[in-house]
Amino acid sequence: MTERSLVFPVAEFRARVRRLQAGMAAAGLEAVLLTTAADIFYISGFLTRFWESPARPWFVVLPATCDPVAVIPTIGAALMRQSWIEHIQTWDAPDPVDDGVSLLAGVLADLVPEQGRIGVPMGLETHLRMPLADYHRLCGQLAPRAFVDATDCLQRVREIKSEAEIAKIRNSCAIAARAFDRIPEIAGAGRPLDAVFRGFQALLLEEGADWVSYLAGGAGQDGYRDVISPARTVPLVAGDILMLDTGAVHDGYFCDFDRNYAIGRASDLARRGHAGLWAATQDTLAAIRPGLRACDLHRLLHRSIVAQGLTPGGGRLGHGLGVTLTEWPSLTARDQTPLRSGMVLTLEPGAVLRPGVTMVHEENIVLRETGAELLSPRAPTDLPELL
Amino acid sequence: MTERSLVFPVAEFRARVRRLQAGMAAAGLEAVLLTTAADIFYISGFLTRFWESPARPWFVVLPATCDPVAVIPTIGAALMRQSWIEHIQTWDAPDPVDDGVSLLAGVLADLVPEQGRIGVPMGLETHLRMPLADYHRLCGQLAPRAFVDATDCLQRVREIKSEAEIAKIRNSCAIAARAFDRIPEIAGAGRPLDAVFRGFQALLLEEGADWVSYLAGGAGQDGYRDVISPARTVPLVAGDILMLDTGAVHDGYFCDFDRNYAIGRASDLARRGHAGLWAATQDTLAAIRPGLRACDLHRLLHRSIVAQGLTPGGGRLGHGLGVTLTEWPSLTARDQTPLRSGMVLTLEPGAVLRPGVTMVHEENIVLRETGAELLSPRAPTDLPELL
């Protein structure tokens, strides 16, 4: 028997499979086909950065009643054998003639009767990680079996975290929090923003991140223009607000929160903005509870920002968090997802402080029956100044 | 006019568009729809780590004769306006009712006549980064317009690098080379492998990487079991061979090469393996020239490994490199892609030294009319020992 190198005990994965299979039974699905790094890690524990290469598709099939089957490139066999998955089929990928399609079709044909339905995540916030032409070939080879949307099935299970998952996310948050505490080592007037970004990633690694899948941020007088740009080489100057927002990863689980810092003395505008966003978050933390919908929480956050005398920024104000940087649900006016105990969420209120200048605040929580429990250590009430 | 923050002059992007449009004309495509980070960065210069979030689709449409149109989430508008793309349409994503589909359908309907063809990359080593159900909706809204495979069109253009691109990849290789030179600072007997992985990523950042999208490797007596596993906490011991393989990124361009180190004195087996792979690479470097096909280069590498008395490892023995860690072509027995001047490739010969123990060697080159030009500084002939 190969030595296992799993992030969780096998029981964790078996519990996930049971929950998924219950949803599949309710939806009338004989199998679900998974193709993304997140879905495959979630069900198998298969964790590798090799997904960065777009060359090869990877498949895991979850049948209605038995254990998952991995249909993967040979190069992944040794690592998959360390997971709890016993049924592994491989081919030499990439193969321009038949890149795993026939092998996968054979596995699915054995598991799913001709009148059966195969679920694939096709809905909001999903994509199919295999060549589209190969998917069409697969559908053709398996006809008259029907391919139907399995988004709901995956979402309802993945968005409720186990205590083991919550502990992982809390740990990733703690790593980022220790790195944020060391910001004065790397940021200040005269430091170019790109050097700050590099330095912060190094701090995250020093503090225990396995890798840093996401770092964004911004800097500008009183606030920043947007929150998704890569860093420029422009040095920080007094009056700038520096924001860093990170998705650091440990054992495959993300944190996702940001922190703001004034370079030198903060302007009144920036201090009021920070204090207002902090208070809006605090009000929302006190009000959130299971039974609300994602759109209700969006409205709570929006109202709390307005109540602080701030102009809310557009877009969503938070989202799920776990094996990807962002997960369902989205805190928008249109997302009807019911909030349930066990959901891990970001609260991400933003404000436009003056035209073209924004500020964003972010915390990570787990929703309990009694309300919100913080996973990120709460940001300081007052905007920190790097003097 | 907004300040532009492009990795290249606008002329570089215009040249890419001209080459793509020539291919589109030959293929009879009225538009190409792009959805991935790599394709959109390639055509627009839009560079952000925000792709890490699976929540929102992003679209760029390249018409047959005019400039590209970006159809993107509002959160990306400020950054896209800094690119050379003038035509930008936005919607508030994620929207569970209509996540950009109607907006995108409108743009495509204006550009493509009803009997026209819209190209989408559907082939080997591609995927569609949007929800499958939304793609089906899009096809329905645009019928009778046909959606056809545009992989060849993209591949033939992207795989030939401009001098500006080659300079970027050379720079990323130089960053990694400087980090590899500093390996003795972080690796040696007693150091846990996961700490080495963290330390190496920090070195890459210190040496100028914007971020480290890929780091894999392995360690074991005489060699390693596989090359895609994340690091364990096991300390390195004398006799281990440590391999690190990195895709570090600067200005959106990757390097992808590895280096091997003996912990303490190297065994004869490991030294012979390293010397054989080095020599096999050297023989191939001397033989490679435009006009060969990818499968010919695979055969050259395979034969060179055998000629060194080694047992070749399975799978592909190299691949294209550029805006993703791996690109077309793949150096496999089945890939017929003709090799042309301007291609950037990895040569990645591997050998099975004894059952379950492998070693892999890797260099990055650009193919010139006269043959291979190294982009990664050549690995040392003799296996380095960390004493």
Summarised one tens digit per residue, pLDDT across range A335-377 is 999 999 999 999 999 999 999 999 999 999 999 999 999 999 9
Q: Are residues A173 and A146 in the same domain?
A: no
Using alpha carbons only, give the angle A324, B327, A247 rounded to the nearest 5 degrees.
20
Q: Which residue has the tokens 């780590």?
A: B49
Q: Report the domain count for chain B.
A: 2
* Interacting residues of A299 by C-beta distance below 8 A, sequence separation 6+: A333
Instruction: Show which of residues 13-72 on chain A sit within 8 Å of chain B, judged by CB atoms.
Output: 36, 38, 47-50, 52-57
Quick one: which of B215, B214, B269, B216 has its CA closest to B241?
B269
**Phi, psi (rounded to 5 degrees) for A132:** -60, -40
Last residue of a domain, one of A129, A158, A187: A158
* Interacting residues of A193 by C-beta distance below 8 A, sequence separation 6+: A217, A219, A231, A232, A233, A234, A235, A236, A242
In a domain, residue A328? The reply is yes
Q: What is the pLDDT of residue B58?
A: 98
For the segment B323-337, the average pLDDT, to the nearest whole number, is 97
Q: Strand pairing of B146-149 and B117-120? A: parallel
Q: Per-residue confidence at B336, pLDDT binned at 50, 70, 90?
A: very high
In a domain, residue B93? The reply is yes
Task: Give the dihedral sign, CA B85/B324/B101/B143.
Answer: positive
pLDDT at B387 over 80: yes
Name the token pair of B201. 């990523």
B334–A97 CB contact, under 8 Å: yes
Name the token pair of A263. 């370079």
Q: Are residues A153 and A167 in the same domain?
A: no
Three-state SS at A219: strand
Number of CB atoms found within 10 A of residue A307's CB: 12
pLDDT in tens, A128-140: 999 999 999 999 9
Q: Strand pairing partners for B224? A: B358
Of the candidates A76, A120, A215, the beta carbon closest to that of B49 is on A215
Q: Are residues A153 and A217 in the same domain?
A: no
Instruction: Show which of residues 89-128 on chain A sit within 8 Å of chain B, judged by CB atoms.
Output: 92-97, 99, 120-128
In a domain, residue B3? The reply is no
- Do A325 and A213 form a contact (C-beta atoms < 8 A)? yes
Name the percent of chain A in helix, strand, coil, to the closest 5.
35, 25, 40
Q: Which residue has the tokens 């607000």?
A: A241
pLDDT at B4 over 80: no
pLDDT in tens, B165-207: 999 999 999 999 999 999 999 999 999 999 999 999 999 999 9
Q: Are residues B181 and B120 in the same domain?
A: no
* Residues from chain B contacting residue A53 (CB–CB below 8 Å): 214, 324-326
Q: Where in the sequence is the domain holding A44, given as residue range(s)?
A: 10-158
Q: What is the pLDDT of residue B1?
A: 37
A229–B76 CB contact, under 8 Å: no
- Give the type of residue at B309: G
Name the token pair of B310. 């080694």
pLDDT at B382 over 70: yes
Of the candidates B78, B123, B330, the beta carbon closest to that of A55 is on B330
CA dist B89 and A272 (Å) reads 33
Q: Are residues A283 and A369 in the same domain?
A: yes
In a domain, residue B293? The reply is yes
Here the CATH number for the domain that contains residue B295 is 3.90.230.10
Nearest CA in chain B to A135: B122
For the segment A42-59, the average pLDDT, to the nearest whole number, is 97
Q: Say whether the ipTM exceeds 0.95.
A: yes
Q: Are residues B177 and B278 in the same domain?
A: yes
CA dist B78 and B134 (Å) reads 25
CA B108 to chain CA centroid, Å, is: 29
A215–B211 CB contact, under 8 Å: yes
- Do A166 and A365 form a contact (C-beta atoms < 8 A)? no
What's B368's DSSP letter? E
Would you call B181 an interface residue with chain A, using a CB distance cutoff of 8 Å? no
Task: Give the dihedral sign, CA A36/A39/A43/A47.
Answer: positive
Last residue of a domain, one of A127, A158, A189: A158
Write out the H or E segment, with its range, that includes residue B228: none
A49–B332 CB contact, under 8 Å: no
Nearest CA in chain A to B321: A53
Output Rg (C-alpha) for chain A, integer angstroms: 23
Q: Strand pairing of A257-263 and A385-386? A: parallel
Q: Are residues B60 and B116 in the same domain?
A: yes
In a domain, residue A70? The reply is yes
Would you call B140 an interface residue with chain A, using a CB distance cutoff of 8 Å? no
Q: Per-residue confidence at B82, pLDDT binned at 50, 70, 90?
A: very high
A92–B332 CB contact, under 8 Å: yes
* Residues from chain A contacting residue B334 (CB–CB below 8 Å): 95-97
pLDDT in tens, A87-117: 999 999 999 999 999 999 999 999 999 999 9
* Residues from chain A contacting residue B232 (CB–CB below 8 Å): 5
pLDDT at B314 over 90: no
What's B382's DSSP letter? S
B291/A2: higher pLDDT: B291
Q: Are residues A374 and A261 in the same domain?
A: yes
Q: Are residues A278 and A224 in the same domain?
A: yes
For the segment A142-169, the average pLDDT, to the nearest whole number, is 98
Write out the H or E segment, with its range, that includes residue A353: strand A350-354
Would you call B194 an interface residue with chain A, using a CB distance cutoff of 8 Å? yes
Q: Which residue has the tokens 């991400």?
A: A348
A230–B52 CB contact, under 8 Å: no
pLDDT in tens, A283-320: 999 999 999 999 999 999 999 999 999 999 878 999 99
Output Rg (C-alpha) for chain B, integer angstroms: 23
* Residues from chain A contacting residue B49 (CB–CB below 8 Å): 213-216, 228, 230
Task: Give the dihedral sign, CA A27/A31/A37/A43.
Answer: positive
CA dist B187 and B196 (Å) reads 6
* Residues from chain A contacting residue B199 (CB–CB below 8 Å): 205
pLDDT at A1 over 70: no
In angstroms, what separates the C-alpha of B208 from chain A's closest C-alpha?
A: 8
Percentage of chain B beyond pLDDT 70 is 99
Q: What is the pLDDT of residue B226?
A: 85
**Secondary structure of A169-199 in the HEC alphabet?**
HHHHHHHHHHHHHCHHHCCCCCCEHHHHHHH
Q: Per-residue confidence at A227, pLDDT binned at 50, 70, 90?
A: confident
CA dist B8 and B161 (Å) reads 13
Name the token pair of B35. 């959805």
Q: What is the pLDDT of residue B2?
A: 44
- Do B265 and B385 form a contact (C-beta atoms < 8 A)? yes
In a domain, residue A1? The reply is no
* Residues from chain A contacting residue B215 (CB–CB below 8 Å): 49, 211
CA dist A222 and A122 (Å) reads 41
Here the CATH number for the domain that contains residue A60 is 3.40.350.10
Q: What is the mean pLDDT of chain A?
A: 96
Q: Are residues A183 and A253 in the same domain?
A: yes
DSSP string, A291-347: TBBHHHHHHHHHHHHHHTT-EE-SS--EEE-SSSSSEEEE-STT--PBP-TTBEEEE
Percentage of chain A beyond pLDDT 90 is 96
Q: Are residues A187 and A267 in the same domain?
A: yes
Q: Are residues B149 and B169 in the same domain?
A: no
Report the Cα–Cα distance between both ends of chain B, in Å, rounded: 58
* Residues from chain B contacting residue A52 (CB–CB below 8 Å): 213-214, 247, 324-325
In a domain, residue B261? The reply is yes
Q: Which of A3-12, A185-194, A272-281, B28-37 has the lowest mean pLDDT?
A: A3-12
Of the candidates A126, A133, A314, the beta carbon closest to that of B92 is on A314
Number of CB atoms found within 10 A of residue A273's CB: 31
* Residues from chain B contacting residue A5 (CB–CB below 8 Å): 229, 232
pLDDT in tens, B230-284: 898 999 999 999 999 999 999 999 999 999 999 999 999 999 999 999 999 999 9
In angstroms, what separates the C-alpha of A383 from chain B's closest C-alpha?
A: 24
Last residue of a domain, one of A104, A138, A158: A158
In a domain, residue B1? The reply is no
